[in-house]
Structure formats: C-alpha cells, structure tokens
Amino acid sequence: MTDLTQAILAIKNNAKVSINNDDINQITWHDGNPTNITNEQILDKQVELQAEYDAKQYQRDRAEEYPTWQDQLDDIYHNGVDGWKATIKATKDKYPKP
C-alpha cells in the first residue's frame, strides 16, 4: 500500500511533513501546510498511486523473469536476434501488458 507520505509528496513535492504510524490523524506539517492539503485529497491520491502501482505489476513480474543482460547478449550471439526475441516473447506472453 502506498504510504501517506508518498501521497502527500505526490501532491506537493516539497511538503515538509512527518506522520506517526502512517496515521492520517497524526500528520505534523513542518511547513504549516501552506497549500491546505486536505485528508480527503491525501487519501484520494493514495488510492490513485496504488492503482498506478498495481497496474504495473506485469512490469515487475517481467523484470524478475527476464534473463540478465549478459545472458541476453549471449543469446543474441548464439541464436541471433530472432532467437533472443523468442526468449523475451515467452516472458512477455506469460506476463501480458493489460
């Protein structure tokens, strides 16, 4: 889950804030919250950031499964670009882009 600090910084990237136990009711604004960011805005941004993160799960899954770049270069050397493409395509097919 995206934490509250990430959500606040996504709204105002230079906000000076600390949060006790990631509790929305325990936010300390060290800059006085000059833009008057509300708890509702923070929670909405948190949901938005989490949805963006979740939508990219396929990218994280692919990254874990792709061969190292050294192995990919070796694959190209021994099997040509078409062989390498087949190797990569198998991972892309296993974790399709939504």
Report pLDDT for 76: 98
CA distance 83 to 68: 15
24 and 36 fall within a common domain: yes
47 and 80 fall within a common domain: no
51 and 73 fall within a common domain: no
Q: What is the pLDDT along the chain (98 residues), one digit of tens a residue?
A: 679 999 999 999 999 999 999 999 999 999 999 899 999 999 999 999 999 999 999 999 999 999 999 999 999 999 999 999 999 999 999 999 98
71 and 41 fall within a common domain: no
66 and 88 fall within a common domain: yes
45 and 35 fall within a common domain: yes
33 and 62 fall within a common domain: no
Q: What is the tally of structural domains in the chain? A: 2
19 and 39 fall within a common domain: yes
CA distance 49 to 16: 20
13 and 47 fall within a common domain: yes
46 and 61 fall within a common domain: no
Q: Which domain holds residue 61?
A: 57-94
8 and 44 fall within a common domain: yes
φ, ψ for residue 29 (rounded to 5)? -90, 110
